Amino acid sequence: MAAPPPIVRDICEHLLDELDSALPGLVVGFFLTGSAVLGDWRAGRSDIDFIGATARPACPEEAEQLRRVAAAASRGLGGQKIDGHWLADLSAPPPPGVDVAVALRTLALHGAAIRGAIPSDIWCDPGAVRAALLANLDDYWAPWLRAARRPLTSRGLAMLGGWAPAWGVLGLARIAYTLRTDDIASKAAAGRWAMAEFPGHWAAIGEALRLRAGGGAPVYPHPFARRREMLAAMDALLASCRGLR
Protein backbone atom coordinates (compact mmCIF):
# COMPACT_ATOMS: atom_id res chain seq x y z
CA MET A 1 0.00 0.00 0.00
CA ALA A 2 1.19 3.50 -0.84
CA ALA A 3 0.43 6.17 1.75
CA PRO A 4 -2.49 8.30 0.52
CA PRO A 5 -1.51 11.89 -0.28
CA PRO A 6 -2.30 14.26 2.61
CA ILE A 7 -4.69 16.27 0.42
CA VAL A 8 -6.75 13.13 -0.22
CA ARG A 9 -7.04 12.51 3.52
CA ASP A 10 -8.10 16.13 4.04
CA ILE A 11 -10.78 15.88 1.35
CA CYS A 12 -12.12 12.66 2.85
CA GLU A 13 -12.24 14.15 6.34
CA HIS A 14 -14.20 17.09 4.95
CA LEU A 15 -16.63 14.72 3.24
CA LEU A 16 -17.08 12.71 6.43
CA ASP A 17 -17.88 15.89 8.38
CA GLU A 18 -20.60 16.69 5.84
CA LEU A 19 -21.95 13.13 5.94
CA ASP A 20 -22.04 13.07 9.74
CA SER A 21 -23.99 16.31 9.73
CA ALA A 22 -26.50 15.02 7.19
CA LEU A 23 -26.74 11.41 8.39
CA PRO A 24 -25.55 11.14 12.01
CA GLY A 25 -24.26 7.72 12.99
CA LEU A 26 -24.68 6.09 9.58
CA VAL A 27 -21.09 6.10 8.27
CA VAL A 28 -18.92 3.89 10.48
CA GLY A 29 -16.05 3.17 8.09
CA PHE A 30 -14.40 4.94 5.18
CA PHE A 31 -11.59 3.24 3.27
CA LEU A 32 -9.57 4.35 0.27
CA THR A 33 -9.07 2.22 -2.81
CA GLY A 34 -7.87 3.09 -6.32
CA SER A 35 -4.97 5.30 -7.31
CA ALA A 36 -4.73 7.01 -3.90
CA VAL A 37 -3.46 3.75 -2.37
CA LEU A 38 -1.71 2.42 -5.48
CA GLY A 39 0.81 5.26 -5.72
CA ASP A 40 -0.67 6.85 -8.85
CA TRP A 41 -2.98 9.62 -7.62
CA ARG A 42 -2.58 12.98 -9.37
CA ALA A 43 -4.22 16.15 -8.12
CA GLY A 44 -6.76 17.55 -10.53
CA ARG A 45 -6.80 14.41 -12.70
CA SER A 46 -7.42 11.36 -10.52
CA ASP A 47 -10.65 10.32 -8.80
CA ILE A 48 -10.78 9.58 -5.10
CA ASP A 49 -12.13 6.03 -4.89
CA PHE A 50 -13.51 4.57 -1.68
CA ILE A 51 -15.52 1.89 0.06
CA GLY A 52 -17.81 3.26 2.75
CA ALA A 53 -19.21 1.11 5.56
CA THR A 54 -22.62 1.91 6.99
CA ALA A 55 -24.00 0.92 10.36
CA ARG A 56 -26.98 -0.69 8.64
CA PRO A 57 -28.17 -1.11 5.07
CA ALA A 58 -29.00 2.38 3.83
CA CYS A 59 -32.64 2.91 2.92
CA PRO A 60 -33.34 4.51 -0.48
CA GLU A 61 -33.59 7.98 1.03
CA GLU A 62 -30.30 7.56 2.88
CA ALA A 63 -28.59 6.17 -0.22
CA GLU A 64 -29.71 9.23 -2.17
CA GLN A 65 -28.48 11.52 0.58
CA LEU A 66 -25.09 9.80 0.58
CA ARG A 67 -24.89 10.42 -3.16
CA ARG A 68 -25.98 14.04 -2.88
CA VAL A 69 -23.53 14.92 -0.11
CA ALA A 70 -20.63 13.41 -2.07
CA ALA A 71 -21.71 15.26 -5.22
CA ALA A 72 -21.95 18.56 -3.32
CA ALA A 73 -18.52 18.01 -1.80
CA SER A 74 -17.15 17.33 -5.27
CA ARG A 75 -18.62 20.58 -6.62
CA GLY A 76 -17.22 22.49 -3.66
CA LEU A 77 -13.77 21.13 -4.43
CA GLY A 78 -13.74 22.35 -8.02
CA GLY A 79 -15.11 19.15 -9.50
CA GLN A 80 -12.77 16.68 -7.77
CA LYS A 81 -14.57 13.39 -8.36
CA ILE A 82 -15.22 11.31 -5.25
CA ASP A 83 -16.52 7.90 -6.28
CA GLY A 84 -17.29 4.86 -4.19
CA HIS A 85 -19.57 2.14 -2.91
CA TRP A 86 -21.56 2.03 0.32
CA LEU A 87 -21.91 -1.37 1.97
CA ALA A 88 -23.26 -2.48 5.33
CA ASP A 89 -21.42 -5.82 5.34
CA LEU A 90 -17.98 -5.90 3.73
CA SER A 91 -17.72 -9.67 4.26
CA ALA A 92 -20.77 -10.47 2.11
CA PRO A 93 -20.67 -10.96 -1.67
CA PRO A 94 -21.18 -7.50 -3.19
CA PRO A 95 -23.82 -6.43 -5.70
CA PRO A 96 -23.03 -7.51 -9.27
CA GLY A 97 -20.50 -5.41 -11.17
CA VAL A 98 -16.83 -5.25 -11.92
CA ASP A 99 -16.23 -1.92 -10.16
CA VAL A 100 -17.29 -3.00 -6.68
CA ALA A 101 -15.58 -6.40 -7.01
CA VAL A 102 -12.27 -4.76 -7.95
CA ALA A 103 -12.69 -2.10 -5.26
CA LEU A 104 -13.14 -4.73 -2.54
CA ARG A 105 -10.16 -6.70 -3.85
CA THR A 106 -8.10 -3.50 -3.79
CA LEU A 107 -9.25 -2.75 -0.27
CA ALA A 108 -8.30 -6.23 0.94
CA LEU A 109 -4.83 -6.04 -0.61
CA HIS A 110 -3.88 -2.36 -0.56
CA GLY A 111 -6.56 -0.28 1.17
CA ALA A 112 -6.09 2.57 3.64
CA ALA A 113 -8.48 3.55 6.43
CA ILE A 114 -9.72 7.11 6.92
CA ARG A 115 -12.33 6.09 9.50
CA GLY A 116 -12.51 2.77 11.31
CA ALA A 117 -10.30 -0.30 10.95
CA ILE A 118 -10.22 -2.27 7.72
CA PRO A 119 -12.06 -5.52 8.50
CA SER A 120 -10.04 -8.71 8.43
CA ASP A 121 -12.86 -10.63 6.74
CA ILE A 122 -13.47 -8.47 3.65
CA TRP A 123 -15.09 -10.35 0.81
CA CYS A 124 -12.16 -11.27 -1.38
CA ASP A 125 -12.97 -13.97 -3.93
CA PRO A 126 -10.29 -13.94 -6.67
CA GLY A 127 -12.38 -16.25 -8.83
CA ALA A 128 -15.37 -13.91 -8.71
CA VAL A 129 -13.12 -10.93 -9.46
CA ARG A 130 -11.71 -12.78 -12.48
CA ALA A 131 -15.22 -13.62 -13.69
CA ALA A 132 -16.28 -9.97 -13.36
CA LEU A 133 -13.20 -8.81 -15.30
CA LEU A 134 -13.76 -11.35 -18.08
CA ALA A 135 -17.39 -10.25 -18.35
CA ASN A 136 -16.20 -6.65 -18.51
CA LEU A 137 -14.02 -7.56 -21.50
CA ASP A 138 -17.09 -8.72 -23.41
CA ASP A 139 -19.53 -6.10 -22.17
CA TYR A 140 -17.33 -2.99 -22.29
CA TRP A 141 -13.89 -3.42 -23.81
CA ALA A 142 -14.67 -5.45 -26.94
CA PRO A 143 -17.39 -2.98 -28.08
CA TRP A 144 -15.15 -0.05 -27.07
CA LEU A 145 -12.35 -1.39 -29.26
CA ARG A 146 -14.68 -2.09 -32.19
CA ALA A 147 -15.84 1.54 -32.08
CA ALA A 148 -12.26 2.79 -31.76
CA ARG A 149 -11.30 0.97 -34.97
CA ARG A 150 -13.90 2.90 -36.99
CA PRO A 151 -12.10 6.11 -37.95
CA LEU A 152 -15.14 8.30 -38.58
CA THR A 153 -16.88 7.64 -35.28
CA SER A 154 -16.42 9.86 -32.23
CA ARG A 155 -14.31 7.19 -30.56
CA GLY A 156 -12.31 6.55 -33.69
CA LEU A 157 -11.51 10.24 -33.94
CA ALA A 158 -10.69 10.32 -30.22
CA MET A 159 -7.98 7.74 -30.92
CA LEU A 160 -6.08 10.53 -32.71
CA GLY A 161 -5.90 12.45 -29.44
CA GLY A 162 -4.32 11.56 -26.13
CA TRP A 163 -7.05 10.46 -23.73
CA ALA A 164 -8.57 7.53 -25.67
CA PRO A 165 -5.31 5.71 -26.54
CA ALA A 166 -4.06 5.94 -22.95
CA TRP A 167 -7.43 4.86 -21.54
CA GLY A 168 -7.66 1.86 -23.85
CA VAL A 169 -4.11 0.56 -23.59
CA LEU A 170 -3.69 1.06 -19.85
CA GLY A 171 -7.22 -0.06 -18.99
CA LEU A 172 -6.64 -3.37 -20.75
CA ALA A 173 -3.16 -3.63 -19.23
CA ARG A 174 -4.71 -3.41 -15.75
CA ILE A 175 -7.10 -6.24 -16.53
CA ALA A 176 -4.31 -8.37 -18.01
CA TYR A 177 -2.19 -7.77 -14.91
CA THR A 178 -4.95 -8.84 -12.52
CA LEU A 179 -5.89 -11.90 -14.57
CA ARG A 180 -2.25 -13.01 -14.57
CA THR A 181 -1.41 -12.23 -10.92
CA ASP A 182 -4.70 -11.90 -8.95
CA ASP A 183 -3.27 -8.60 -7.67
CA ILE A 184 -4.45 -5.04 -8.42
CA ALA A 185 -2.17 -2.41 -9.96
CA SER A 186 -2.53 1.22 -10.93
CA LYS A 187 -2.71 2.10 -14.61
CA ALA A 188 0.89 3.29 -14.54
CA ALA A 189 2.20 0.16 -12.79
CA ALA A 190 0.19 -2.11 -15.07
CA GLY A 191 1.57 -0.25 -18.10
CA ARG A 192 5.14 -0.74 -16.94
CA TRP A 193 4.43 -4.43 -16.36
CA ALA A 194 2.84 -4.74 -19.82
CA MET A 195 5.90 -3.20 -21.49
CA ALA A 196 7.93 -6.18 -20.26
CA GLU A 197 5.22 -8.77 -20.91
CA PHE A 198 4.34 -7.56 -24.44
CA PRO A 199 7.72 -6.52 -25.90
CA GLY A 200 6.31 -6.32 -29.42
CA HIS A 201 4.14 -3.41 -28.25
CA TRP A 202 6.70 -1.80 -25.97
CA ALA A 203 6.66 1.53 -27.83
CA ALA A 204 2.86 1.83 -27.92
CA ILE A 205 2.47 1.01 -24.24
CA GLY A 206 5.25 3.45 -23.38
CA GLU A 207 3.46 6.10 -25.39
CA ALA A 208 0.25 5.40 -23.46
CA LEU A 209 2.17 5.97 -20.23
CA ARG A 210 3.60 9.21 -21.62
CA LEU A 211 0.14 10.42 -22.63
CA ARG A 212 -1.23 9.63 -19.19
CA ALA A 213 1.64 11.43 -17.47
CA GLY A 214 1.26 14.41 -19.79
CA GLY A 215 4.91 15.04 -20.63
CA GLY A 216 7.92 13.95 -22.64
CA ALA A 217 8.55 13.71 -26.36
CA PRO A 218 6.04 11.78 -28.51
CA VAL A 219 7.13 8.32 -29.64
CA TYR A 220 5.28 8.57 -32.96
CA PRO A 221 5.72 11.38 -35.48
CA HIS A 222 2.09 11.34 -36.62
CA PRO A 223 -1.20 10.66 -34.79
CA PHE A 224 -2.34 8.19 -37.47
CA ALA A 225 0.77 6.05 -36.92
CA ARG A 226 0.20 6.25 -33.17
CA ARG A 227 -3.46 5.25 -33.58
CA ARG A 228 -2.49 2.19 -35.63
CA GLU A 229 0.08 0.99 -33.09
CA MET A 230 -2.18 1.69 -30.12
CA LEU A 231 -4.99 -0.36 -31.67
CA ALA A 232 -2.55 -3.21 -32.30
CA ALA A 233 -1.43 -3.11 -28.66
CA MET A 234 -5.05 -3.17 -27.47
CA ASP A 235 -5.79 -6.13 -29.74
CA ALA A 236 -2.85 -8.02 -28.23
CA LEU A 237 -3.87 -7.20 -24.66
CA LEU A 238 -7.50 -8.18 -25.28
CA ALA A 239 -6.48 -11.46 -26.92
CA SER A 240 -4.15 -12.25 -24.03
CA CYS A 241 -6.91 -11.61 -21.49
CA ARG A 242 -9.36 -13.81 -23.36
CA GLY A 243 -6.77 -16.56 -23.46
CA LEU A 244 -6.87 -16.66 -19.64
CA ARG A 245 -10.51 -17.72 -19.40
pLDDT value at 21 more than 80? yes
pLDDT at 30: 98
Contact between 129 and 102 under an 8 Å Cβ cutoff? The reply is yes
Instruction: Measure the CA–CA gap between 82 and 136, rounded to whole angstroms.
Output: 22
| Neighbouring C-beta atoms of residue 74, cutoff 10 Å | 18
pLDDT value at 245 more than 80? no
Compute CA distances 76 → 67, 81, 212, whole Å. Answer: 14, 11, 26
| Overall average pLDDT of the 133-152 stretch | 95
pLDDT at 215: 79
pLDDT value at 2 more than 90? no
Instruction: Measure the CA–CA gap between 93 and 57, rounded to whole angstroms.
Output: 14
| Overall average pLDDT of the 158-185 stretch | 96
Confidence class of residue 216 from pLDDT cuts 50, 70 and 90?
confident
pLDDT one-digit tens code per residue, 26-81: 999 999 999 999 999 998 889 999 999 999 999 999 999 999 999 999 888 878 89
